[in-house]
């Protein structure tokens, strides 16, 4: 693989990481809005955040190991596709319990994005430390930016706008992954 091809794939992976990670912490600023929307106790709405991180833990335990058995690229594409459905279910949730279930699935599936690290290192084994650094930096920048965008969208347009941003970012990550077509180890 030539240097421009490697750079191109690295850019695609970092955009995907940024967009995908950007929606991990989007629900935290919305807890009060969830409580108000569904007439729930603020403590009950707090379980949404707890379930989101519990979902990420369960996804790490159950979904990430699938990358050892299945093509990682296809696994990521499937994960992102189901993730978009979970986000749409969240936006259409008729109750706090349904919303919490969608968030649990959403964050559980996001754990599968860890499989991207393997794909990044396969692009340039001789530069894997540098590529992992760039990938990780974009992953954390996406987390930070996602929380900021969620808070801003919530303040100006409500929690459904936050869901729309999350769906858009996930669609971008899906498109980037689909277009990259890297060899999967």
Distance spanning both ends of the chain, measured CA to CA: 15
Q: What is the full DSSP assignment across 50-97?
A: HHHHHHHHHHHHHTGGGGGTS-HHHHHHHHHHHHHHHHHHHHT-SSHH
Helix axes 128-157, 159-180, angle to 10 degrees: 150
Res 96: pLDDT: 92
Tell me the three state secondary structure of residue 11.
helix
Whether residue 1 lies inside any domain: the answer is no
Domain that holds residue 63: 8-180
Res 18: pLDDT: 66
From the list 38, 7, 15, the residue with the least C-alpha distance to 135 is 15
Whether residue 185 lies inside any domain: the answer is no
Whether residue 69 lies inside any domain: the answer is yes
Res 142: pLDDT: 76
Res 41: pLDDT: 92
Whether residue 17 lies inside any domain: the answer is yes
Whether residue 115 lies inside any domain: the answer is yes
Whether residue 3 lies inside any domain: the answer is no
Res 25: pLDDT: 67
Which pair of structure tokens corresponds to residue 129? 């430390």
Whether residue 2 lies inside any domain: the answer is no
Which pair of structure tokens corresponds to residue 77? 């594409």
Res 23: pLDDT: 63
From the list 45, 43, 140, the residue with the least C-alpha distance to 93 is 45
Which pair of structure tokens corresponds to residue 185? 């180890």
Res 102: pLDDT: 86
Q: What is the CATH number of the domain that holds 171?
A: 1.20.1250.20
C-alpha 92/C-alpha 99 separation (Å) is 8
Ordered per-residue pLDDT tens for the chain, 185 residues: 667 766 776 676 666 666 666 666 677 778 888 899 999 999 999 888 888 888 878 887 887 777 778 877 787 788 888 888 888 998 899 999 998 888 888 777 776 666 667 777 777 778 778 877 877 787 777 777 777 877 888 889 988 888 888 888 778 778 877 776 655 55
Per residue, what are the HEC states of 18-46? HHHHCCCCCCHHHHHHHHHHHCCCHHHHH
Q: How many domains does the chain have?
A: 1
* Whether the predicted model's global pTM rises above the 0.95 cut: no
Contact call for residues 23 and 147 (beta carbons, < 8 A): no
């Amino acid at each position: 693989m030539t240097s421009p091809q490697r750079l191109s794939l690295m850019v695609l992976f970092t955009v995907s990481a940024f967009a995908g990670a950007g929606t991990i912490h989007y629900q935290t600023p919305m807890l009060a809005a969830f409580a108000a929307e569904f007439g729930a106790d603020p403590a009950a709405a707090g379980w949404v955040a707890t379930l989101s991180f519990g979902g990420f833990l369960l996804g790490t335990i159950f979904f990430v190991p699938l990358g050892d058995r299945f093509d990682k690229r296809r696994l990521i594409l499937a994960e992102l596709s189901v993730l978009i459905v979970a986000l749409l279910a969240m936006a259409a949730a008729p109750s706090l319990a349904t919303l919490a279930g969608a968030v649990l699935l959403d964050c559980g599936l996001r754990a599968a994005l860890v499989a991207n690290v393997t794909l990044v290192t396969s692009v340039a084994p001789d530069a894997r430390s540098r590529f992992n650094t760039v990938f990780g930096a974009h992953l954390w920048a996406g987390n930070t930016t996602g929380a900021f965008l969620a808070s801003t969208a919530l303040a100006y347009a409500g929690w459904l706008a936050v869901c729309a941003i999350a769906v858009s970012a996930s669609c971008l990550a899906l498109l980037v992954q689909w277009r990259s077509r890297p060899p999967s180890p």
